Amino acid sequence: MNRDETVKRMKKQLDDWNTQIDDWEKQMNDAQANMKSRYEEQLDTLRHQREEGMSKLKEIQGSSEAAWADMSKGFEEAWQHLAEGFDKAWSEFRGKEQQGDDSK
């Protein structure tokens, strides 16, 4: 995958994450008081993951084609790790949300 395709894929993923975070923030604002602290903790994790993704995007956008060729494999692995972390945080968030629904 070349750098431009990777940048395009990353931008789409970041846009998706931003949409999910916005949705979760709305849910958090509607949650019962005891759930808000749990939501906020997960949202902090998700925000951190998003910031790491944005940092990586800026890094590759500023790289030359030659530098991209050298760093692409390591970058793909780092991006995959970041995406897995976001997915894990999402799963934990959904689990906590469902537990909160059960207690209503």
- The answer to whether the CB of 86 falls within 8 A of the CB of 46 is yes
pLDDT reported for residue 104: 42
Lowest mean pLDDT among 1-5, 23-27, 93-97: 93-97
Closest CA relative to residue 82, chosen from 3, 4, 14: 14
What's the confidence (pLDDT) of residue 103?
47
CA distance 95 to 102: 11
What would the two tokens of residue 68 be?
A: 């991209």
pLDDT (0 to 100) of residue 98: 66
pTM, 2 dp: 0.56
Side chain identity, residue 74: G
Q: What percent of the chain has pLDDT over 90?
A: 11
- 13 Cβ partners below 8 Å, 6+ apart? 53, 83
DSSP single-letter state for residue 84: H
